[in-house]
Structure formats: C-alpha cells, structure tokens
C-alpha cells in the first residue's frame, strides 16, 4: 500500500486540540488527585440517598471516624456550639483515657511510606493542655508513631506538624491518641504528603497528567456542574478561601444507579466533596501543566437526566447564575483592586490566571420545558457585554445523531453568523462501541466549517463487557486512535477534544472505562491513555495533504502533520486489521531530504488491558533508525513515524 505525502499544506491544528476533561467521579478528586489523606476531615459528611426528584440526605458527621480502641476507653461525639466557623459548623469532641483516642479509616486505610514526610494540620481546643500522639495503626493493631503535638489553648487554634515513619504502613488506621485522660475538640484534620505537587495534588497522578501535555483542562464536570438538584450543584464560590471555610457538598455520583432494588442507596452514598480541590486549585493545576482552563458554568438547570428542577428565566434568582460567571472571570483575570481579584491575590496568586474560555452549560438540550437556547443567549450577552474576549463553548447535548443534537446545531448555525464571537465551539459527547469509532473516522469531513466543534466527552465502550466493568482494552484504544486520525485531519473544524472520564479509583468506580486508574499506593495509564499521549505529543502545527488508496478499506488509517519549529513530519498509522500491512512512503520532492526516522509503536492483543500488576502491558516503545521507505505495520498497532 502506498502513502503519498504531497507538498500542499492541509489545515491548521490548534495547539490545544488534545486536552483533558476532569470530573469528580470515581473518587477522582477527594480520594484521588486531591492528595488529602483523611476522609471526612471536617465532620460534615452526608449520606445521600433517593432517586430522581426525590433525593434526601442524612447527616453522618462521624462517618469514617471511630473511638479507639473501643467505646469503653474513649467516646466520640459531634458538637456545633462555639464552632470553628458557621460554614462547616460541626466538630468532634473526644473524651478518652490515657493512650486512647479516635481513628479515621482514610478510604482504603492510611498509607505511609518509610522515609517520606507528611504534613498534618488540625484545629483543636482543650480546657487543659494535652499532648497528642499521632499514629498509624496497622491491621495487627501495632501503633506506628508519626508525630506528637501539644494542644495548649482553650480557644480554637491551628496546629501543624511534619509526620515521619521508619516503616511502611498500608491499609492502616490514622489515629490521634491522648497521652493523658482528658477531652479535646477537633476540626478540619488534614494530612498531605510533602511531595504533593503545588502542595495539593497527588504526585503520581499529577505526573501522569504532565505526561499527556494537555492543551486545556475542562472542569469541574460534567454532571456535577448541574447537580442532581440545584442544591448540590457545583458553586465555585463555595470552593475558594481557607479549606476549613469551604462548604462541603454531597456528590452527584453518590446516588448513581440508585433504584428500588438497592433501597435507593449504594456503597457510595457517602461520596462527598470537601472542595479542598476548588476553583483556585483547578487554575493552579492548569498553570502547572501549561494547559488552558475551561470551566463549565451552570445555567439554572439541574441534571436533565436526574431532575426536572430548574430556575425560571423570569425568576430573580436566575440572575445569580449569570453573575456567578461574571464574578468567576473577575476571580481568574481581575486586578488586585477588584473584589474577586483581591480574593485570588489573598490566596497567593497576584497575577491573573489568564482565563480565555468558559463552557455555558454542561450537557444541556432544548425541550418544551427547558429553554436552553434562550439561556445560552442570556449568558452570551451578559458575558460579552463585559468581557468580549472570552470564548464561549456551547452544548449539543449528550448524544449525536438525535433530534436534540440536530436542533442544537441548527440553532448555532443560524445565530453564529449574526455575531462573530457568539460561540467558539460546540461541545459534543459520544460514548460508543469501538466499531462506531472505526466506522466514523470521516465523521467531521462534511461538518459546516462556520461553527467549530469541541469533542468534549468520548470513549469507546466495549459492549462485550458488563456496564460497570467496561475494560480499557486495546480494542477500544485502537478504535479511538483511528477516530482521532479523522479529528486531526479535520482540525479546521474540531478545535478541542478530550477523552472522558479521566480518573477512577479501584473499588470506588461509578463509571468505566476511564483514562487513568489508581489505588491508595499506585496508578497506571490505560491503553487509551497512551493513545491520548501520542496524539498530544506528536502532532504538528498543520496537516499535510496525503493519499493512501484502499487504506481504510483495509482498516489502515492515517494522518500526516508537520512541525515547522522542529522541522519534523509526523505520520500516524493505525492498523485495526488482523494482519500486518506494508506502507510504502512516497514523499514529494519537498520532503525527500528527510533522512532520520524515529518510530513510536503501540501494539498488543485486542483484549489486553493494563492493571496495577501489569501497568505497561500496552505501552509505547521507541526505535530510531535511518529512514525506511517501506514500513511494516503489525496487526492491531498504532505507529507514529517521525521524519526529520
């Protein structure tokens, strides 16, 4: 098979074409990239239950906490009188005999490593001075000392100490023990590894995001932007300021798949959001990764899948949703002498974050009752009247090839010509079987170029697997790679794209497949992760016109791009066939002086998956050699050939 690379330039490729989408699902924030090791640190957790339009919560402030070693030696209760603050008013009172106290289960148990340091902080008060021992208690009830702290004040005071251990402890209990009999009040007990990136992010997960070199981060969702009901929607103003004053919330995914058969509850009913990972931290993560922030705003609608709740456009409360977005832009970009810019500066970031894009609604669609198109117009006018430079992302709803999808595109095609910056791109979502991705590599070929696309959530779901055990197998990743050749080839209409979801904690999963999996100790990238990495790292500034006759008929997909800075050509080849195929390069005279070749190969069995025990079963390999004009592409392989 011959691949002819022509002299003609194709289409420009946006630098931020390949990004990441973060939503707090599968314990991706608390218990995930947010490196907090304590669960329910402020004693505010809710037990969330119920079903569509009938959700309810039971306060369970001692969730994750227990008296130690038993209730005869120690007692533990919740109080609100003379609280640390009125935003999170509950705190714990422990009354214990000498050597006793209380413990935290810390998700799968506390994990501390020999030689590493951990930053512990908490607020406390006691009528009489009290020395505390901080410990990790092993499964065999051995106490491993981490630090000691002296509580000295009758009034609330913050205490901080560095914890260290001379032994590893895994699946243990975090413990605070009183050296002498007495009573102490505690609030906001927090523990982070000292190596947490920016003091906030779990290092191995942040490192994997850095591997991806994302052009943008879409956050904080996803459905949690909307909430199961508007009371638990994501409100950015609740997520800034000191962590002890960030109002805790129950997570929309805590009630996922509740039904009569499970009594409208689940093992994830205590899935809460402490908001320690809030908007300030999201902007910090974007800055750390060199990615553009793309926050998503609520437009007065709860999740249309989970609720019928909305705020009417005629209601004065609706204006608060619009004002929240205007205030967010000021928080991100405003000078220090503005209200919200001053808050950002007080948190430690005097310079603006440089926010350029905002999503208007998550996954909204127009119905007889839901007037999303009109809501978008309201937000667009208010934002662009004050901030005309901000690029807005619209929504085409949760699916493609549906009447609501068609109606959305009709709306944007009609309105975009009337106003130059009406919509920067329209957000499309599709979770399909691998065969769909292979059959739709030309999905964007015939899209009208007047309105751009954000492929905001997509993933191949192997229907041979049960719903919550969809595997991130090589079959799915290979199909996604083939599809992405079409995305890159159509980069003049597809400006942004991101796989979804990003993270999943093993044993805490509401949705699969996911890009990166982890437990309390380790993490690994899936085959889909490596596909995203290769497309992010090896894509030029523009495509080159190319022809490969009968390639796709033989399940061989390709795209060619050029990087003028590095003077390097990237040829991506995806062989989804059952057999090895040969590709003969036919370069136009303009490219014949390329002599050096470097090849990155991603290959394996279709059903192969990565795991904690085999994290690199599907992983890129590299080789360098003189240019080969005949390239052998093994069956079930993605290959990036770099010529320079």
d(CA 440, CA 438): 6
Query: pLDDT grade, residue 470 (50/70/90)?
Result: low
Joined tokens for residue 127: 């009528």
The average confidence (pLDDT) of the chain is 96
Average pLDDT over residues 18-29: 98
- Residue ending a domain, choose from 158, 193, 228: 193
Give the pLDDT confidence score for residue 467 in this predicted structure: 56
Torsion, Cα 276 280 284 287, to 10 degrees, reads: 150
Contacts of 622 (CB under 8 A, 6+ apart): 598, 599, 600, 601
Angle at 15 between CA 14 and CA 20, to 5 degrees: 100
Give the pLDDT confidence score for residue 65 in this predicted structure: 98
Query: pLDDT grade, residue 37 (50/70/90)?
Result: very high
528 three-state secondary structure: helix
Is 41 domain-assigned? Answer: no
258 three-state secondary structure: coil
Query: pLDDT grade, residue 12 (50/70/90)?
Result: very high
Query: pLDDT grade, residue 465 (50/70/90)?
Result: low
What CATH number has the domain bearing residue 149?
A: 2.60.120.260
Q: Are strands 581-587 and 568-575 parallel, antiparallel or unpaired?
A: unpaired
Is 262 domain-assigned? Answer: no
Task: Answer yes or no: do 106 and 162 share one domain.
Answer: yes
Domain span at 436: 20-35+197-245+272-458+479-502
pLDDT at 360 over 70: yes
Is 3 domain-assigned? Answer: no
pLDDT in tens, 575-631: 999 999 999 999 988 888 888 899 999 999 999 999 999 999 999 999 998 888 899
What CATH number has the domain bearing residue 420?
A: 3.20.20.80
Average pLDDT over residues 445-450: 96
Is 161 domain-assigned? Answer: yes
Task: Answer yes or no: do 240 and 207 share one domain.
Answer: yes
pLDDT in tens, 478-523: 999 999 999 999 999 999 999 999 999 999 999 999 999 999 999 9
pLDDT in tens, 224-247: 999 999 999 999 999 999 999 999
Is 598 domain-assigned? Answer: no
Task: Answer yes or no: do 201 and 349 share one domain.
Answer: yes
Task: Answer yes or no: do 300 and 449 share one domain.
Answer: yes
pLDDT at 180 over 70: yes
- Total domain count, the chain: 2
d(CA 271, CA 496): 30
Give the pLDDT confidence score for residue 539 in this predicted structure: 97
Task: Answer yes or no: do 315 and 450 share one domain.
Answer: yes
Give the pLDDT confidence score for residue 468 in this predicted structure: 53
- The residues that are catalytic are 363
Query: pLDDT grade, residue 469 (50/70/90)?
Result: low
Is 86 domain-assigned? Answer: yes
DSSP 629: S
| Burial class of residue 208 in the structure, from the number of CB atoms within 10 Å of its CB (0-12 exposed, 13-18 middle, 19+ buried) | buried
Give the pLDDT confidence score for residue 212 in this predicted structure: 98
Joined tokens for residue 554: 């033989």
pLDDT in tens, 399-416: 999 999 999 999 999 999
Secondary structure E strands in 282-418 = 292-297, 357-360, 391-395
pLDDT at 99 over 60: yes
Task: Answer yes or no: do 325 and 373 share one domain.
Answer: yes
Task: Answer yes or no: do 169 and 205 share one domain.
Answer: no
Average pLDDT over residues 539-554: 95
Task: Answer yes or no: do 223 and 369 share one domain.
Answer: yes
Task: Answer yes or no: do 207 and 188 share one domain.
Answer: no
pLDDT at 543 over 80: yes
Angle at 486 between CA 480 and CA 491, to 5 degrees: 120
Is 607 domain-assigned? Answer: no
Torsion, Cα 480 484 486 492, to 10 degrees, reads: 150
Is 640 domain-assigned? Answer: no
Average pLDDT over residues 57-82: 98
Task: Answer yes or no: do 279 and 355 share one domain.
Answer: yes
127 three-state secondary structure: coil
Task: Answer yes or no: do 310 and 373 share one domain.
Answer: yes
Give the pLDDT confidence score for residue 627 in this predicted structure: 85
Give the pLDDT confidence score for residue 629 in this predicted structure: 87
Contacts of 23 (CB under 8 A, 6+ apart): 219, 220, 221, 222, 223, 224, 500, 501, 502
Torsion, Cα 463 466 470 475, to 10 degrees, reads: -40
Joined tokens for residue 40: 């329910």
Task: Answer yes or no: do 95 and 240 share one domain.
Answer: no
pTM: 0.97
**Start-to-end C-alpha separation, the chain:** 22
Give the pLDDT confidence score for residue 628 in this predicted structure: 85
């Amino acid at each position: 098979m011959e691949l002819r690379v022509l002299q003609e330039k194709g289409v420009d490729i946006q630098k931020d074409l390949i990004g990441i989408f973060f939503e707090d699902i599968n314990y991706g924030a608390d218990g995930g990239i947010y490196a907090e090791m304590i669960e329910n640190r402020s004693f505010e957790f809710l037990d969330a239950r119920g079903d569509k339009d009938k959700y309810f919560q039971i306060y369970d402030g001692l969730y994750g906490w227990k008296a130690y070693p038993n209730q005869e030696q120690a007692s533990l209760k919740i109080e609100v009188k003379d609280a640390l603050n009125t935003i999170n008013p509950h705190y714990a009172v422990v009354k214990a005999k000498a050597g006793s106290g209380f413990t935290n289960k810390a998700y799968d148990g506390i994990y501390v490593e020999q030689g590493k340091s951990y930053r512990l902080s908490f607020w406390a008060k006691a009528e009489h001075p009290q020395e505390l021992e901080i410990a990790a208690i092993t499964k065999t009830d051995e106490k491993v000392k981490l630090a000691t702290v002296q509580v000295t004040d009758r009034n609330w005071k913050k205490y901080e100490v560095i914890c260290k251990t001379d032994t590893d402890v895994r699946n243990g209990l975090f413990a605070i023990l009183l050296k002498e009999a007495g009573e102490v009040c505690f609030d906001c007990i927090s523990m982070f590894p000292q190596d947490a990136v920016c003091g906030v992010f779990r290092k191995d997960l942040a490192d994997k995001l850095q591997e991806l070199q994302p052009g943008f981060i879409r956050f904080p969702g996803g459905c949690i932007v909307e909430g199961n009901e508007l009371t638990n929607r994501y409100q950015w103003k609740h997520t800034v300021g000191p962590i002890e004053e960030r109002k805790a919330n129950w997570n929309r995914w805590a009630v996922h798949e509740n039904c009569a058969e499970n009594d409208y509850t689940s093992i994830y009913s205590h899935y809460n959001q402490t908001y320690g990972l809030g908007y300030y931290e999201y902007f910090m993560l974007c800055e750390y990764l060199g990615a553009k922030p793309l926050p998503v705003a609520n437009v007065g609608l709860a999740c249309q899948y989970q609720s019928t709740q909305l705020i009417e456009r005629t209601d004065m409360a609706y204006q608060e949703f619009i004002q929240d977005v205007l205030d967010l832009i000021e928080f991100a970009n405003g000078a220090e002498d503005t209200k919200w810019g001053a808050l950002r500066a007080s948190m430690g970031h005097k310079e603006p974050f440089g926010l350029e894009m905002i999503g208007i609604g998550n996954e909204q669609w127009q119905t007889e009752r839901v007037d999303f198109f009109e809501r978008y117009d309201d937000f667009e006018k208010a934002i662009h009247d004050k901030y005309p430079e901000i690029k807005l992302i619209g929504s085409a709803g949760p699916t493609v090839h549906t009447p609501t999808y068609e109606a959305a595109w009709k709306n944007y095609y009609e309105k975009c010509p009337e106003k130059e910056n009406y919509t920067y791109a329209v957000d499309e979502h599709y979770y399909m079987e691998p065969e769909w991705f292979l059959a739709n590599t030309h999905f964007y070929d015939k899209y009208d170029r007047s309105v751009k696309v954000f492929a905001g959530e997509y993933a191949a779901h192997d229907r041979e697997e049960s719903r919550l055990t969809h595997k991130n197998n090589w079959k799915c990743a290979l199909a996604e790679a083939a599809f992405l050749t079409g995305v890159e080839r159509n980069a003049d209409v597809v400006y942004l794209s991101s796989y979804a979801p990003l993270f999943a904690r093993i044993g805490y999963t509401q949705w699969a497949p996911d890009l990166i999996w982890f437990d309390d100790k380790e993490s690994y990238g899936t085959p889909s992760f490596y596909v995203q990495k290769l497309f992010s790292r090896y894509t030029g500034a523009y495509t080159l016109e190319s022809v490969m006759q009968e390639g796709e008929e033989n399940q061989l997909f390709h795209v060619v791009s050029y990087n003028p800075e590095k003077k390097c050509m990237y040829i991506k080849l995806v062989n989804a066939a059952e057999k090895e195929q040969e590709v003969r390069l036919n370069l136009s005279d303009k490219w014949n002086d390329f002599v050096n070749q470097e090849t990155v190969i991603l290959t394996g069995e279709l059903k192969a998956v990565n795991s904690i025990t085999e994290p690199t079963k599907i992983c890129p390999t590299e080789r360098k050699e003189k240019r080969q004009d005949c390239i052998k592409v093994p069956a079930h392989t993605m290959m990036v050939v770099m010529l320079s």
